[in-house]
Amino acid sequence: MKPVLVMILTAWLLGPAATSAPAAAEGGLRVDLDRESASTNVVATDELRLSAAANRMESLRTGFAVYRLPVTRPANTFEATVDSTVPPDARLAVDVRARHDGQWSEWTEIRPDAPTTLPAASGTVEVRVMLIAPDGTASPVLRSLTVTPSRTAAAPARAAGPVSYRVFATREGLVGGTTANGHVITRRDHFVALPSRRGLSRDRSGEYSVRVCAANGRCEWAPVWDVGPWNTRDDYWNERREQWRGLPRGLPQAQAAYQNGHNGGKDQFGRQVANPAGIDLADGTFWDGLRLRNNAWVTVTYLWTGGGPAGRVDTHGTPLNVRERPTRHSPNVGFAAEYARVGIQCSVRGDHAEGTQGRTNVWYRLAPGKFVSAAWVAGAAGVRAC
């Protein structure tokens, strides 16, 4: 179980009491605050603020709104001009991402002191405004947001394949609670939490998904719907991580604190780290997908860090069976959760199945000895035969 879920968004409670906006930069795009494409726990009119209702079981009110940025030319560098009021202990943050070769980049904060550059230029760009306030504190208020896109020298290309690391997994539980993306946790739910908002998917989507494999050989493909455990700015899978840059890539700060006394054995909030967790698993992922009985070491593949053919699991709610062979009755060796984005190695012919994508005998190999029927996978393209 997550040590204390209140840590999920408190990393952002570091903002100034208020900010005021200078004149918008030339070429800036003013965001229409009441035309968000996705949101949770906010009220958007000519201003953006948190709604009155709490969306967590703990002492923080959190919310966000996502906006599509109408760029006219591909861009990879962004500056933001913000007119806002941020009470003490509250926080407002503006993140940006861009879609390239069918995959979104990670969310990256546009800080006031320097432009933010993404890995590749794109004409499909979104910005996300995060609002956070402790109970009893007035909401941050965003009055205007102008984002200025530009194109600069290309960043290093994404690796050919996604990165994988062995980390310690804990069970999240907390049925009835609300995750950082606004999802209400259900019994036997299927998702994961990572200790950074950079790879946070929207509710009912899997833009950022992982493959988690246990020592027993079982795997689950699941979307990232929460932030935690322990830290909230520890994207340890990245070469240039947001915080704790002195640690080796792939080593969660909580693991370094627990095993080696990093940061005095404490997390970013000064709490004594009680386990080395680098990922939290929802109950269905933990018990049913991986068939774990206790917290355990697992191998996690961060699927958005690589390219190649991929599809989205579309089952109308239930997890998709992952089979040992491309047949309907071969052993179940894991699950692919609804909405998860799954990387596809190749395709084979097998048993016929009928699902949301029609009737087909095509099966996708997700990994050696791990197959799913194409009848339940949407949007796959460019898949070669095995």
Q: What is the pLDDT of residues 15-27, one digit of tens each?
A: 443 443 433 334 7
pLDDT of 265 above 60? yes
Q: What is the mean pLDDT of the chain?
A: 90
Mean local confidence (pLDDT), 195-212 = 95
Mean local confidence (pLDDT), 52-57 = 59
Least confident of 146-160, 231-245, 328-342: 146-160
pLDDT of 159 above 80? no
Residue 173: which region, alpha, beta or left (left: phi > 0; alpha: psi -120 to 50)? left
Whole-model pTM? Answer: 0.88
Residue 44: what residue type? A
CB count in 10 Å sphere of residue 360: 18
Mean local confidence (pLDDT), 206-234 = 96
Domains of the chain: 5-150 (2.60.120), 163-305 (2.40.40.10), 310-378 (2.30.30)
For residue 358, give both structure tokens. 């029609």
pLDDT of 318 above 50? yes
For every residue of 25-92, DSSP letters joined together read PTT-EE--TT--SEEESEEESSSEEE-SS--SSSSEEEEEEEEEE--SS-EEEEEEEEEEE--TT-EE
Strand 346-355 vs strand 358-367: parallel, antiparallel, or unpaired? antiparallel
What local confidence, expressed as pLDDT, does residue 102 receive? 85
What local confidence, expressed as pLDDT, does residue 327 receive? 98
Could you tell me what percent of the chain has a pLDDT over 70?
90
Mean local confidence (pLDDT), 281-295 = 98
pLDDT of 155 above 90? no
Least confident of 49-63, 101-115, 352-366: 49-63
C-alpha span between 128 and 115 (Å, rounded): 16
- Residue 15 · residue 92 · CB < 8 Å: yes
pLDDT of 10 above 80? no
Least confident of 41-55, 64-78, 136-150, 239-253: 41-55
pLDDT of 380 above 60? yes
